[in-house]
C-alpha cells in the first residue's frame, strides 16, 4: 500500500517513514530539501533495509504537484509534513510562511481531489491553543489567536482541511504535536537544524559538543515550580508511531468523524531546568548555562491531556525524558563523527 510522505526527509518525517516501512507500507517521499538533505533517504534505507523513493520538488509548484499526482494516483494516503517551522523566522518573514505552508497544502489537496485520493494526515501543533487557560490541554480547548505567523498557518491549515472535508470528498486526521525531541536509536537520523538552533534540545546538545559556548535559559520568573517555562516533550519515535496508527485508522475506515483531531503528547510537563538536569544526568557532563530574560512570544506552560488519543488511537507515548534526551545526545555525537557532516 503506497503512502506519500511530504517533507519525508525532515525531522519528524524521516522517523515516520521508518515506522511506516517497518509496518510494510510502500513510501514515496516528496521533499524540496529546504531544511534537510537527500542523504536522509539513504540513512532510512540503512535502518529499514529499503531506501524510500524520493522526488525532489517544491509542492508550491502547482504544475509539478499536479504532474506528480497524475503519476501516483494510486497513493492510498498522504502524511503532509512539508512546511517551514521556525516560529521566530515566521515573525520576520510572514509571507514566506503563508505562501509556503498554505500554498503547498492547497496544491496537495487539489491533487487529492483531482485523483480521488481520500486520506490525509496533517502535521499540526499545540501552538494552535496559544496559552491555554486550563492544564492539561484537551482537544476541545479553545483555539486562541495565534502568537506567530507560523502558528497561524497551522490554524488556517486546519480550517482549509475542515472546509475541504465538508465537501465529502476526503477525510483527514490532524495531529497536534507538543514538543518533539530525541532521535532514532541508531543515531542515523535526528534533528539537524540549519544554523543556530532555536529549539531547546538541539541547543543543549550543540553546547555539550562544543559548537555553542553557553545555553541560555529564557526566563526564570514564570509562575512554575522552578520559575522556568514548562512544555510537554515527546520522543520523536513515539510521535512517528502515532502517524502509522492514524494512517491505518483512515485506510481501514475506523474514523468516527471525517475530520478528527488528536493531541500527541505524554501528559507530563517538564521545565527548561528539568530538561537541562536530565541531560546532565544522562551525559555525565556539566552544561554552561545562563539564566537570561524571557524569549518574546514564549508561553508559560503547556502540556497535553493525551487521554483521547490514548483511548481512540490505542496509542501511548512510551519513552521518558531521560530516554529522549539520551537519544538526542547519541545523535549529536554520531553526527559530528561522520565525515559528510
Ligand atoms: C515552538 C513552537 C512549536 C513548534 C516548535 C518547533 C510555540 C508556542 N511553540 O515550541 O509550535 O512546533 O517551536 O519549532 O510557538 N528555551 C531556552 N533556551 C533555548 C531554547 C529554548 O530556555 O536556547 C526554552 C524556551 O523558552 C521554551 C522551551 O525552552 O520555554 C522550549 O523551547 P523550544 O524548544 O524552542 O520549543 P517551543 O518554543 O516550546
pLDDT in tens, 175-233: 999 999 999 999 999 998 888 998 999 999 999 999 999 999 999 999 999 999 999 99
Atom of ligand 1 nearest to the CA of 228: 30
Is 259 a member of any domain?
A: yes
Instruction: Round to whole Å and give the CA distance between 236 and 183.
Output: 6
pLDDT of residue 193: 83
* Same domain as 160, residue 17: yes
Is there a single domain that holds both residue 39 and residue 158?
yes
Q: Is the pLDDT of residue 273 over 80?
A: yes
Cβ of 125 closer than 6 Å to ligand 1, yes or no, is yes
Claim to verify: residue 172 and residue 258 sit in the same structural domain: yes
CATH number at residue 140: 3.40.50.720
Report CA(215)–ligand 1 centroid distance (Å).
Answer: 13
Looking at the fold, whether 149 and 225 belong to one and the same domain comes out as: no
**Residue 224's CATH number:** 3.90.25.10
Whole domain around residue 225: which residue ranges?
200-230+268-302+320-337
Burial of 140 (0-12, 13-18, 19+ CB in 10 A): exposed
Residue 193 belongs to some domain of the structure: no
| C-alpha 299 – ligand 1 centre gap (Å) | 9
Q: What is the CA(168)–ligand 1 centre distance, in A?
A: 37
pLDDT of residue 339: 63
Q: Check whether 145 has a pLDDT greater than 80.
A: yes
For range 146-165, the mean pLDDT: 96
- Is 249 found in the same domain as 223? no
pLDDT above 60 for 246: yes
Residue 154 resides in a domain: yes
**Given a cut of 50, is residue 45 above it in pLDDT?**
yes
| Residue 316 backbone phi and psi in degrees, to 5 | -145, 135
In a domain? residue 31: yes
Is 199's C-beta closer than 6 angstroms to any atom of ligand 1?
yes
Residue 340 pLDDT greater than 60, yes or no? no
pLDDT score for 160: 98
Name the average pLDDT for the chain.
96
- Does the beta carbon of 229 sit less than 6 angstroms from any atom of ligand 1? yes
pLDDT for 337 = 85
Which positions ≥6 away from 83 have C-beta within 8 Å? 7, 100, 101, 104, 123, 153
Nearest CA to ligand 1 atom 33: 199
Exposed/middle/buried for 169, CB within 10 Å: 0-12, 13-18, 19+? middle
CA-closest candidate to residue 167, choices 203, 116, 213: 116
Q: Is the pLDDT of residue 8 over 80?
A: yes
Cis peptide before 136 (omega within 30 of 0): yes
Q: Is the pLDDT of residue 39 over 50?
A: yes
Say how many Å lie between the CA of residue 174 and the centre of ligand 1.
21
Q: Is the CB of 178 under 6 A from ligand 1?
A: no
Kindly state whether residues 81 and 219 are assigned to the same domain: no
Judgement on whether residues 96 and 40 belong to the same structural domain of the protein: yes
Written as nine digits, the cell of 79 is 502524511
Please give the distance of CA 147 from its chain centroid, rounded to a whole number: 18
Total number of domains constituting the chain: 2
Query: How big, in percent rounded to 5, are the helix, strand and coil portions of the chain?
Result: 40, 15, 40
pTM of the complete model beyond 0.95: yes
333 occurs within a structural domain:
yes
Measured in angstroms, how far is the CA atom of residue 125 from the centroid of ligand 1? 12
CA separation for the pair 124, 103 (Å, rounded): 16
Q: Are residues 10 and 139 in the same domain?
A: yes
- Which residue has cell 516533550? 233
Are 119 and 244 members of one domain?
yes
The answer as to whether 173 is a domain residue is: yes
Residue 87's pLDDT band (cuts 50, 70, 90): confident
Q: Are residues 206 and 74 in the same domain?
A: no
Q: Which sequence positions are flagged as catalytic?
A: 150
In a domain, 45, yes or no: yes
204 and 109 part of one domain: no
For ligand 1, atom 38, the nearest C-alpha belongs to: 298
Residue 76, pLDDT > 50, answer: yes
Query: Is the domain of 86 the same as that of 215?
Result: no
Whether ligand 1 lies within 6 angstroms of the CB of 216 is answered as yes
- Cβ–ligand 1 distance for 240 under 6 Å, the answer no
Amino acid at each position: 500500500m503506497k503512502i506519500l510522505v511530504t517533507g519525508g526527509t525532515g525531522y519528524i518525517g524521516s522517523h515516520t517513514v521508518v515506522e511506516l516501512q517497518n509496518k510494510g507500507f510502500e513510501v514515496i517521499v516528496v521533499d524540496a530539501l529546504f531544511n534537510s538533505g537527500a542523504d536522509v533517504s539513504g540513512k532510512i534505507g540503512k535502518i529499514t533495509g529499503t531506501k524510500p523513493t524520493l522526488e525532489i520538488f517544491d509542492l508550491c509548484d502547482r504544475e509539478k504537484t499536479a504532474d506528480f499526482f497524475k503519476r501516483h494516483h494510486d497513493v492510498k494516503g498522504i502524511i503532509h509534513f512539508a512546511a517551514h517551522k521556525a516560529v521566530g523566522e515566521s515573525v520576520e518573514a510572514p509571507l514566506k510562511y503563508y505562501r509556503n505552508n498554505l500554498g503547498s497544502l492547497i496544491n496537495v489537496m487539489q491533487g487529492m481531489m483531482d485523483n480521488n485520493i481520500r486520506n490525509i494526515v496533517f502535521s499540526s501543533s499545540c501552538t494552535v491553543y496559544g496559552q491555554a487557560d486550563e492544564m492539561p490541554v484537551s482537544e476541545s480547548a479553545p483555539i486562541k489567536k495565534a502568537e506567530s505567523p507560523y502558528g497561524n498557518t497551522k490554524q488556517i491549515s486546519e480550517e482549509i482541511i475542515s472546509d475541504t472535508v465538508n465537501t465529502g470528498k476526503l477525510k483527514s486526521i490532524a495531529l497536534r504535536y507538543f514538543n518533539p525531541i530525541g532521535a532514532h536509536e541508531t543515531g542515523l537520523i535526528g534533528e539537524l537544524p540549519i544554523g543556530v538552533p532555536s529549539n531547546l534540545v538541539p541547543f543543549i546538545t550543540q553546547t555539550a559538543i562544543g559548537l555553542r559556548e553557553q545555553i541560555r535559559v529564557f526566563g526564570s520568573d514564570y509562575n512554575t515550580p522552578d520559575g522556568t517555562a514548562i512544555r510537554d516533550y515527546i520522543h520523536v519515535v513515539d510521535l512517528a508511531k502515532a502517524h502509522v496508527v492514524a494512517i491505518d485508522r483512515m485506510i481501514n475506515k475506523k474514523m468516527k468523524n471525517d475530520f478528527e483531531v488528536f493531541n500527541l503528547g505524554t501528559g507530563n510537563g517538564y521545565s527548561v531546568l528539568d530538561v537541562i538536569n536530565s541531560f546532565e544526568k544522562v551525559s555525565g557532563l556539566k552544561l554552561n548555562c545562563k539564566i537570561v530574560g524571557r524569549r518574546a512570544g514564549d508561553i508559560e506552560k503547556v502540556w497535553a491531556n493525551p487521554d483521547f488519543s490514548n483511548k481512540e488511537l490505542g496509542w501511548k507515548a512510551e519513552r521518558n525524558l531521560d530516554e529522549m534526551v539520551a537519544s538526542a545526545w547519541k545523535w549529536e555525537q554520531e553526527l559530528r563523527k561522520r565525515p559528510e557532516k
